[in-house]
């Protein structure tokens, strides 16, 4: 699909109407943009119109498709990384909790064994004396 004169006239008319809007209908955020932000936004809008208007335009068409795919892959990989990091944090805390409990149990068993050894020593001493 090529840009027809009707499409060009329609886009120009749309831009003209937007320029004539009263101030209360104009977005306020656009006035806070720097000149370089406006330039980048204008370039992005022109590239999007070219991609949408002429899908045969191979370079921008392929760039658009691969860019969307790359952004999708990036979003999925970031999401998986966040999930895996949360799983890792929970696994580490579970291992720490288990080790603490095992140390406490080992200390209790050692104390019980020491007490049992003391009791056994007293019993043996009383039996032999």
Residue 121 predicted with pLDDT over 80: yes
Q: pLDDT confidence of 35, banded at 50, 70, 90?
A: confident
DSSP 8-state secondary structure symbol assigned to residue 31: G
Q: Which two tokens stand for residue 1?
A: 């699909």
Domain ranges of the chain: 1-56, 61-129
Q: pTM for the full model?
A: 0.38
Please indicate whether residue 2 or residue 4 has the higher confidence score (pLDDT). 4
Contact 1, 57 (CB under 8 A): no
pLDDT-derived band at 54 (thresholds 50, 70, 90) equals low
Q: What integer pLDDT is reported at residue 11 of this predicted model? A: 79
Most confident of 34-48, 82-96, 113-127: 82-96
Token representation of residue 43: 């370039």
pLDDT at 94 over 60: yes
């Amino acid at each position: 699909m090529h840009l027809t004169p009707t499409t060009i006239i329609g886009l120009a008319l749309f831009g003209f109407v937007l320029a004539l809007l009263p101030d209360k209908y104009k977005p306020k955020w656009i006035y806070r943009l720097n000149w370089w932000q406006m330039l980048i936004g204008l370039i992005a809008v022109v590239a999007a119109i070219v991609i949408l208007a002429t899908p045969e335009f191979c370079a921008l068409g392929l760039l658009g498709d691969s860019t969307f795919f790359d952004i999708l892959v990036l979003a999925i990989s970031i999401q998986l990384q966040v999930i895996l990091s949360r799983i890792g944090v929970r696994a580490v805390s579970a291992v720490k909790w288990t080790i603490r409990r095992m140390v406490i149990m080992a200390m209790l068993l050692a104390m019980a064994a020491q007490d049992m050894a003391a009791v056994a020593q007293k019993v043996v001493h009383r039996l032999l004396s």
